[in-house]
């Protein structure tokens, strides 16, 4: 493979890797604020259509939370490793039933061995039926319907557990803190009678549309008409339509090719990185760039 240092000058790259924790914190606040607003709007209007829209919006922000967990896994928050991990766990990972450390161990292995037999993501997906492309429209439709009723999400949850559910090195204090986190919220929901809201506005989006968004993103990143012989063709950059940013690629996760080339660049600097990379003729000629998830990606993946 070509050397990655040839696509951008070291001076420019160093500037792009500077961390601004306040930007990440602002995005965390925005994601949770949108979730709260969606819940409030649904309860205010008490309308089935508004509820469905709220579920989609909440699932989209859950996806945003997942992308921010990805940033913490790459140590792109700052504030010291231990403090950073605690912030990432309490405000991002634990609410979606994950941990920063478990995700990190799997994901960094994916970066070290991308699209090879030592890549845990690649190995478990390569021969899975839902990741074989081109795919018929009927098959894609049944897979989507599976997400709506939770069957496909259950399949994906099992796949995630197979990759990140093994024994970890977390201390007993950490495990007790995490257990206490869930117990406290469970007691709160029961005591206040908000357990119904938890089911409607957290459990339902989580086991349906949230995992559908994750699936689409996973396909977009490394599957469907890729050139695995070259680093510029083994991952995909997507130029999304405006509305797709809210659901399929929050926090610039559509810049996945650029992220694989330079994982030290935090998410808020990825658009700048992409513009610089486009000035390089090799990148401009060979990079796998697709327009839209619902348009270009669909054409590349559907028979």
Domain spans, the chain: 9-301
pLDDT of residue 166: 58
Among residues 72, 124, 120, 74, the alpha carbon closest in space to that of 94 is found at 72
Per-residue pLDDT, averaged over 83-110, amounts to 96
Per-residue pLDDT, averaged over 20-30, amounts to 97
pLDDT of residue 2: 41
Read off the pLDDT of residues 152-169 as tens digits, 9 standing for 90 and up: 999 999 988 887 765 567
Per-residue pLDDT, averaged over 236-242, amounts to 97
Distance CA 190, CA 184 (A): 10
pLDDT of residue 168: 64
Weakest mean pLDDT among 36-50, 56-70, 148-162: 148-162
Distance CA 10, CA 264 (A): 12
Distance CA 168, CA 38 (A): 36
Per-residue pLDDT, averaged over 48-63, amounts to 98
Is 303's pLDDT higher than 90? no
Distance CA 97, CA 178 (A): 10
Distance CA 16, CA 179 (A): 38
Instruction: Please report, rounded to a whole number, the percentage of residues in the chain having pLDDT higher than 90.
Output: 91
Weakest mean pLDDT among 101-105, 146-150, 167-171, 232-236: 167-171
pLDDT of residue 236: 97
**Is residue 63 a contact partner of residue 214, using CB atoms and an 8 Å limit?**
yes
Is 80's pLDDT higher than 90? no
Per-residue pLDDT, averaged over 270-277, amounts to 98
User: Cα–chain-centroid distance for residue 220?
Assistant: 11
Distance CA 27, CA 128 (A): 34
Per-residue pLDDT, averaged over 196-217, amounts to 97
Is 62's pLDDT higher than 90? yes
Is 260's pLDDT higher than 80? yes
Per-residue pLDDT band at 150 (split at 50, 70, 90) = very high
Q: What is the mean pLDDT of the chain?
A: 94
Kindly report the pTM of this predicted structure.
0.94
Per-residue pLDDT, averaged over 248-275, amounts to 97
Buried b (16+ CB within 10 A) or exposed e, 210-245: bbbbbbbbbbbbbbbebeeeebbebbbbbebeeebb
Distance CA 11, CA 259 (A): 18
Among residues 109, 131, 130, 128, the alpha carbon closest in space to that of 120 is found at 109
């Amino acid at each position: 493979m070509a050397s990655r240092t040839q696509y951008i000058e070291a001076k420019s790259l160093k500037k792009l890797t500077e961390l601004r924790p306040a930007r990440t914190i602002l995005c965390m606040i925005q994601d949770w604020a949108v979730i709260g607003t969606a819940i409030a709007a649904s309860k205010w209007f008490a309308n089935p259509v508004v509820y469905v829209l709220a579920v989609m919006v909440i699932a989209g922000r859950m996806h945003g939370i997942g992308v921010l967990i990805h940033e913490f896994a790459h140590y792109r928050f700052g504030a010291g490793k231990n403090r950073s991990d605690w912030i990432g766990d309490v405000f991002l990972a634990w609410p979606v039933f994950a941990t920063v450390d478990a995700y990190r161990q799997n994901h960094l292995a994916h970066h070290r061995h991308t699209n090879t037999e030592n890549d845990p993501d690649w190995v478990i997906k390569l021969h899975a039926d839902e990741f074989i492309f081109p795919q018929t429209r009927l098959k894609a439709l049944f897979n989507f319907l599976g997400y709506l009723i939770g069957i496909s999400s259950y399949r994906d949850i099992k796949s995630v557990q197979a990759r990140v559910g093994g024994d970890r090195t977390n201390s007993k204090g950490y495990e007790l803190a995490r257990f206490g986190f869930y117990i406290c919220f469970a007691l709160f929901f029961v005591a206040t009678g908000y357990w119904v809201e938890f089911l409607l506005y957290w459990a339902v989006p989580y086991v349906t549309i949230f995992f559908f968004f994750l699936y689409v993103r996973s396909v977009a990143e490394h599957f469907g008409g890729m050139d695995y012989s070259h680093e510029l063709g083994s991952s995909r950059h997507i130029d999304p339509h405006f509305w797709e940013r809210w659901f399929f690629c929050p926090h610039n996760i559509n810049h996945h090719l650029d992220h694989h080339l330079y994982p030290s660049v935090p998410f808020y600097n990825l658009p700048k990185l992409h513009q610089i990379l486009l000035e390089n003729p090799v990148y401009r000629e060979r990079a796998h760039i697709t327009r839209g998830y619902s348009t270009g990606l669909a054409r590349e993946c559907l028979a």
